[in-house]
Chain A
Amino acid sequence: MNRPAPRRRTAPLTAAALAAVLLLAAGCGDRPTTHHKPGTGHEQGTGSGGTLLAARDDSGHRLRDLPAADAPTVRAEARPDTEGGWNVHLAVERFRFTPESTGGGALAGRGHARLLVDGRETARAYGPWFHVPPGARTLTVRLYADDHTAWSVAGAPVETTVPLASASSAPSTPASASPSAPPSPSSAPARTPDPTPTGRTLDIRVTGSTVTPAPSRVELKKGERITLRVTSDRPDTVHVHGYDREATLTPGTPAALTLTADRTGLFEVETHESGLVLTQLVVR
């Protein structure tokens, strides 16, 4: 690679400027860390609420049993987000999110929720609203006490599971006090989700460097929904500029990408690897 050699005459000045920039860059790069106040670590406490059982949930936390009448309940509702993923709302009863006392002793009706995406724990929720990025197929929400024990009724954790794969779904599965098996990947829906599209569907096929139908403009009204079903003959990624939506293309399998056209402008739909423009979305 050619470096611009003629800059050498100002070497000391350049060096000073580079050093300054480096210093600045180093100062900004640190990732935030979580600090625990003394006495609020992650070790399981021995609070007073409920009965601590010897049984553990699938992530190794002991269960804390409550009578059904006192136990919290949780329902989750997921709506597809216009930029991908889902917006999830938790409706809880007899339960309050208490992020400020996490790590403390267990008190009935207080604590946090843990989110398990496709059976794997990924995050905690300290409030009723959160976002799940695209790619998830099922979401399980389980309620925990401040001391990281799982609230349970008759030995079954208080939890709810929402399937996320289908775009049309906004199902709310009421939490049952009955035990529910943790979702296993085999029970998840098929690999290529087949969303029931709302709005128009545009089928595009990519063969080599040929796009069928040939790139054209799709006129959309602001707020309209469109589903792009793209079939490629090679592995690739399809990307909608401006909306920054992406879908992975597996050879021969149509990949669907649904979006709400909520910004006006002309946006190109492109493949990354082959760098082809598939179509243009004209949103007025």
Chain B
Amino acid sequence: MTAGPPPPLPLAHGVGAQHDLPLSPFYAYAGAFTALLVSFLGLALLWSSSRFRGDRAGIPLPAGLQRLTDARATRTALRLLGAALALFFLAHLLLGPDDPDRNPAPGALYVLLWVGLVPASLLLGPVWRLLNPLRALLSVRQPRAPRPIHSAVGIRPAAAGLLLFAWLELVAPDNTSRAVLLTALAVHLAVQLLGAARHGADWFAHADPFEVYSSLLARLSPLGRRADGKLVLRSPFDGLDSTPETPGLVATVCVLLGTTAYDGLSDNPRWITTLQTSSLGPTATATLGLLAAVALAAACYGLCAGTLRLLNRDLATPLTSFAHSLLPIALGYLTAHYFSLLAVEGPRTVMMAGGTDNAPSPAPPLGPAGLAVLQVAAIVTGHVLGVVAAHDRSVRLFPPARAVAGQLPLFALMIAYTLGGIGLLIA
């Protein structure tokens, strides 16, 4: 009464005031045990000749639906929707209060876009490709003679972009302030638009981190495109199997795994103590921690690929051949770490965008036990999907006599990732 309202809170770690409870050992052990059991059962019982047919599989959707989704009007409408949402975001960012509790812009970026793209892409396919406001911007003035992108580039620029975004979300100080967000946006726009001016809209498929992220997650969607261009319903395994082995796929997957793992680590009190007492300062230490997490994920994968190469000299590209099987594991990590953020902060952001000032956080949809089950189930499901995808790829690439032995390094890797993922949820 006598004192004024409290000053706006500078949140040091993105959006959201509540973290998930650490996992109780019971759920952790149950999850780890299931993962191990399924891995060895899979090794023993799964099929011995490849079953997945990648982009040749799928049941075509009815012709009317095909025409509707491919219609020029639908595409234009989606472009306009994406552009309108981007302008709405920009207007809030520029004109709204510089306070994440009152401005929906930070939540729109860190929650609705980053986390919301996961379920959207899983259900509907590569949605960001259709909504991407940068594509709308480019369609206003197409570059006259776009140069093709060198084949060695692949999706490496997007991997770098994803790493930078993760740094912004998990490490950067004041990452919900207008100044920081505008700087990040300016850098993003500059890189994307300069690239697109040179290479045309194709650049976004290689370099826009959100588009690549959405397109990779969409590999697990039941909706997809067959090789003949038809929109089909298909098994997520077939979609996963058709993941193009572009350069940078391994890097992208390792960035997703490593940064999500770092998100789990950053809640650990020991890591917090390290950050606060480090002589380098918290930001530099956190940056090193983030890079180390990505490097660790990549090193484990490199080690595994090296072993695969030793087992089968004919395997030309051991690194990229199995990278797709890590996507479900990354998806499991993402779900386990960000589910409650989306469920709690997502509606709050929408309420704020709808005009509610300082909207209250809705109650979490799951109790502690329900959330623990969901987290463990997500990680174990990701693991199982990964094991199955790797198994199928392995029986295709290895001669039958060595197929089982050939999978062992991958199994070891996946078990390491999964136990690590569960371990980080306990920490």
Contacts and interface: CB of A to CB of B under 8 A. Distances in A.
Given A18-B95, A215-B269, A118 B2 contact: yes
A247 B267 CA distance: 23
Given A24-B355, A133-B3, A9 B140 contact: yes
Interface in A174-225: 209-211, 214-217
B269 A21 contact: no
Nearest to A19: B91
Contacts of A132: 1
B91 A4 contact: no
Given A24-B355, A135-B2, A275 B21 contact: no
Contacts of B272: 215, 277
B181 to A, nearest CB: 10
A48 interface: no
A228 to B, nearest CB: 15
Nearest to B273: A214
Interface string B1-30: 111001101101000011111100000000
B40 to A, nearest CB: 33
Given A209-B276, A215-B269, A282-B21, A14 B2 contact: no
Contacts of A277: 269, 272, 276
Nearest to B173: A275
Q: Rank and list the top 8 A-B pairs by shortest CB-CB distance, nearest first.
A: A266-B19, A241-B17, A2-B186, A21-B91, A122-B1, A17-B87, A242-B18, A265-B18
Interface in A229-270: 237, 239, 241-242, 244, 246, 263-268, 270
B137 interface: yes
Given A2-B182, A21-B88, A266 B18 contact: yes
B91 A3 contact: no
Contacts of B90: 4, 7, 14
Interface string A1-23: 11111110110011001100110
Contacts of B277: 209-210
A44 B114 CA distance: 61
B contact residues, range: 35 or more
A9 to B, nearest CB: 6
Contacts of B92: 21
A9 B91 contact: no
B276 A215 contact: yes
A contact residues, range: 35 or more
A272 B1 contact: no
A101 interface: no
Interface of A: 1-7, 9-10, 13-14, 17-18, 21-22, 24-25, 28, 115, 117-118, 120, 122-123, 132-133, 135-136, 209-211, 214-217, 237, 239, 241-242, 244, 246, 263-268, 270, 272, 275-277, 279-280, 282-284
Contacts of B3: 133, 135
Nearest to A24: B355
A4 B95 contact: no
Nearest to B282: A275
B59 interface: no
A264 B20 CA distance: 9
Contacts of A280: 19, 267, 269
A209 to B, nearest CB: 6
Interface string B162-196: 00000000000100000100110110011001000
Contacts of A272: 7, 9-10
B276 A120 contact: no
Contacts of A123: 1
A44 B276 CA distance: 61
A216 B276 contact: no
Contacts of B18: 241-242, 263, 265-267
B91 A265 contact: no
